[in-house]
Amino acid sequence: MTRWKYALYRSLWGALDLLFPPLCGGCGRPGSRWCVDCRKRVKVLDGSLCDVCGLPQEATGVCEDCLASRPKFRALRSWAIFDDPIQNALHKLKYRRDISMGDTLASEMLPFVEKLNWDVDLIVPIPLGRQRLKERGYNQVAMVAKPLSIALGLRYAPDQLARCKETRSQVGLTKADRRRNVQGAFRAGAGVNGKNIVVMDDVSTTGATLSSSAEALYLAGAKHVFALTVARALPHHGLGRA
């Protein structure tokens, strides 16, 4: 049943592509939403990673930062490094109203997510604040999280996490400021009680937003909380780029 539902979902986007010929989300080349060259250029984040925050390191295990101040989530994993062509695709989705990029990115990162082999029940996207949602008209994270949930046969539960306070943009803030900015920013619903959750965002820089949301989910009774993002901004990219 899951495969049929996902095949139908993808076929609807395929029909729209026939009516409105797409441009590649990574390079702008006409003909497809994700061209062969951009697929080859994606820098998948694998190798030796911190068991908790998922940042690259020389050896396996938990990194020094997580040992000193462990995030609230059980583990964070990101599909790719926040760089071209992923950066271009996410900007099209987030700022240029190209919601087709949600389906495209979900399809591309699906094999990576399946290999994580997490035992989870729900996928919950990080919610936008009221003002930002009003301005944008949609939650860009939801555009990726929903097709992923269909493909994986998981319940998509955007109603189980809400912002209980408006926060400023994280862009340009230091790691400490990011943590303070999102502290106590989320409230989780009763539907997460006893469940294993994947909380999802588009990009992670320090993991502060995901950690704060995981804390809210645990307070509401979640059993385990994993964090997932499309991309990860590495320390050498600088906080401002994400």
pLDDT tens track for 184-230: 779 999 999 999 999 999 999 989 999 999 999 999 999 999 999 99
198 sits in the region (left: phi over 0; alpha: psi -120 to 50; else beta) called beta
- Among the residue ranges 25-29, 56-60, 117-121, 144-148, the one predicted with the least confidence is 56-60
* 26 and 87 Cβ atoms separated by less than 8 Å: no
- pTM, full prediction: 0.91
pLDDT for position 239: 40
Exposure string over 4-19, b if 16+ CB within 10 A, otherwise e: eebeebbeebeeeeee
Task: Tell me which residue range forms the domain holding 218.
Answer: 2-241
Place of tokens 């441009």: 23
Distant-in-sequence, close-in-space partners of 200: CB < 8 Å, separation ≥ 6:
123, 124, 125, 126, 141, 144, 145, 148, 227, 228, 229
Measure the CA–CA gap between 143 and 161, rounded to whole angstroms: 16
pLDDT for position 192: 98
Strand partners, 201: 229
pLDDT for position 173: 59
Q: What is the CATH number for 116?
A: 3.40.50
**Virtual torsion, Cα 39, 97, 201, 197, nearest 10 deg:** -100
How many distinct structural domains can be found in the chain? 1
pLDDT for position 242: 40
Measure the CA–CA gap between 227 and 242, rounded to whole angstroms: 17
Q: pLDDT-derived band of residue 240, with 50, 70 and 90 as boundaries?
A: very low
Measure the CA–CA gap between 190 and 181, rounded to whole angstroms: 25
